Amino acid sequence: MRLLVWLFRAFIFFTLFAFALNNQQVAVVHWFFGVEWRTPMVIVVLAAFAAGCALGVLTMLPSWWRHRREALRQLPPTAPAATTPASVPASEFGPEHPPRVGL
């Protein structure tokens, strides 16, 4: 299964690499006020993809936070953790029994 995942990753990498090699023509992006950006086409496509992913994540954040708050509200209250020394389990290797090191 692990080999199959690595083969899939290699396929995706080489597909994107071939895409980048095939799109080296210069593209011009015209902005406002006569500003233009000249760069290879693959950079324009990857920048648009990254901007779309970022916009999608930012759009989903309020919904994720709302669902998280609702899920936390539905959890049963937990008992406070006791911090007294009696509640802390004794370690097998305390100062009186140090761990053995050697063969």
What integer pLDDT is reported at residue 20 of this predicted model? 83
Residues 6+ apart with CB under 8 A from 99: 93
Q: For residue 10, tell me if it sits in a domain.
A: yes
* Integer Cα distance of 24 and 86 in angstroms: 69
Whole-number pLDDT of residue 75: 81
Count of domains observed in the chain: 1
Is 102 inside any structural domain? Answer: no
Evaluate whether residue 92 is within a structural domain. Answer: no
- Between residues 46 and 63, the one the model is more confident about: 63
- Classify residue 59: in a domain, yes or no: yes
- Please name the residue ranges forming H helices in the chain: 2-22, 41-74
Flag whether the pTM goes above 0.75. no
In a domain, 60, yes or no: yes
Q: Which residue range is the domain that position 60 belongs to?
A: 2-76
Distances (CA, A) of 86 to 54, 78, 82, 83, 94: 50, 20, 9, 8, 15
pLDDT at 28: 92
Structural domain includes residue 67: yes
Which residues have a Cβ under 8 Å from the Cβ of 20 and sit 6 or more positions away?
A: 42
Is 95 inside any structural domain? no
- pLDDT reading at 101 higher than 90: no
Q: Determine, yes or no, domain membership for 82.
A: no
